[in-house]
Amino acid sequence: MTKVPVTHIDNALIDREAIKTMLARRIPDHTLEQPFYNSEALFRIDMEEIFAKEWIFAGMTCELPKKGSFVTVDIGLSPIIILRDNNNDVRAFHNTCRHRGSKICLGAKGKSPKLVCPYHQWAYDLDGELVFAGSDMGDDFDKSRYSLSPVHCRTAGGYIFVCLAENPPPIDDFVNDMNYYLEPYDLDNAKVAVQSEIIEKANWKLVVENNRECYHCDGSHPELLKSLLEWDDDNDPRSTPEFRDLVKKMQAFWESQDVPYKFQMRYENRNRIVRTPLKEGTHSMTMDGKVACKKLMGRFTSPDMGALRILHLPNSWNHGMGDNLIAFQILPVGPQETKVITRWLVHKDAVEGVDYDPNNLRHVWDATNAQDRTLSENNQLGVNSMGYQPGPYSKTFEFGVINFVNWYCERMAANLGE
């Protein structure tokens, strides 16, 4: 049995130097040492070195339909406001008043011509500029020095990404990819038909690892496997001749529809996009494989679009069909607690009860999310054991997990070295 080659580091002693030591000695293609999955100190460093320095999926542009529309998201201890300003641009700010630091926007979403702090009524314009602080600050008070603190924000094909770092890592190539692959969906003219939020009592990395493989699918996801084929493309060494034939057939059809499909990976495994077939004869991730929404998205004229699979590390995976798109977002809450948010998007003109049934739309992934929660929580309970040792990944079935763990370790090492 393979064992960790040096002495175990007590959780109470975890600091940046200890993490560097564990990264340097990690066994390739194996799970990480226990503190990466359950240490409070290491979790705080995850939030500082990964979630505060990488680009984070934060929402959809269609959630900001009008000037003054806003949504909020908490990235660790940092609450963020994302809004559509008076120039119709999407911007992001720290959700903390420049007076005494109170949280300004308390709800998950809303619409307002100004952002008014509920504590002392300081008010900010949609460009973050302080426009009212009352008369009690004195005649020499300079409002221009106390605008909201901005957060780096980029939109890409209808998705919103934010980065808390002063100097964010590159994202331009991925933005261009997203604009290209998502053009047929016209997500600015979509709507969130259904949204769910669940808490998984598991470390965020275990949640992502579970998503990055379908090794467990056959024994755990009967609803999902009514439509899903586990292979991304015909380069997968496990793919069958029948699957490769189906890929060729569907790619020829997508080409005739001017719909992008080719595999693309960016930034050392951080981002990957590919359109892949669903099971032949199925058009959507529903129990019967039929469309969940009669009104197709964007410019699609056929529902036979397979699934556009999009990965964005560290916190999102996605499936886009011809009739709906499912966007998954994770937000770490604690060392053994992760919020998983699922959005089901349809055409903005689709009518509930006429074009789609929300229960049918969400049924498969509600079941799958519940099953994945159980798997991840059981994984966490086992990892917490004093008997846990890093174990080997399957290079065939779990190559996606290996890619994720390699990306995480490389980014953590690079960010720690800054």
Cis peptide leading into residue 314 (ω within 30°): yes
Q: Which residue, 72, 78, 77, is CA-closest to 115?
A: 72
Is domain 189-383 annotated with CATH 3.90.380.10? yes
**How many other β-carbons are positioned within 10 Å of the β-carbon of residue 402?**
19
Run of H or E residues at 344: strand 337-347
**Interacting residues of 186 by C-beta distance below 8 A, sequence separation 6+:** 158, 297, 298, 299
Q: At residue 182, what are phi and psi to the nearest 5 degrees?
A: -95, 0
Whole-number Å distance between alpha carbons of 308 and 276: 6
The domain limits of the chain are: 60-163, 189-383
Neighbouring-strand partners of residue 192: 345
| pTM, 2 dp | 0.95
pLDDT digits (tens, 9 = 90+) for 218-257: 899 999 999 998 777 667 777 788 888 999 999 999 999 9
Please name every residue paired with 199 in a beta bridge, in sequence order, or none if there are none. Answer: 339
Domain spanning 60-163, CATH architecture: 3-layer Sandwich (2.102)
- Would you give the end-to-end CA distance of the chain in angstroms? 36
The per-residue pLDDT string of the chain (418 residues; one tens digit each, 9 = 90 and over) reads 444 444 566 676 799 999 999 999 999 999 999 999 999 999 999 999 999 999 999 999 999 999 999 999 999 999 999 999 999 999 999 999 999 999 999 999 999 999 999 999 999 999 999 999 977 888 889 999 999 999 999 999 999 999 999 999 999 999 999 999 999 999 999 999 999 999 999 999 999 999 999 889 889 999 999 999 877 766 777 778 888 899 999 999 999 999 999 999 999 899 999 999 999 999 999 999 999 999 999 999 999 999 999 999 999 999 999 999 999 999 999 999 999 999 999 999 999 999 999 999 999 999 999 999 999 999 999 999 999 999 999 998 899 999 999 999 999 999 999 6
The model's pLDDT over 104-154, given as tens digits with 9 standing for 90+, comes to 999 999 999 999 999 999 999 999 999 999 778 888 899 999 999 999 999
For the chain, count helices (H), then strands (E). 9, 17
How far is the C-alpha of 122 from the C-alpha of 97, rounded, in Å?
Answer: 8
**Rounded Cα–Cα distance for residues 206 and 334 (Å):** 13
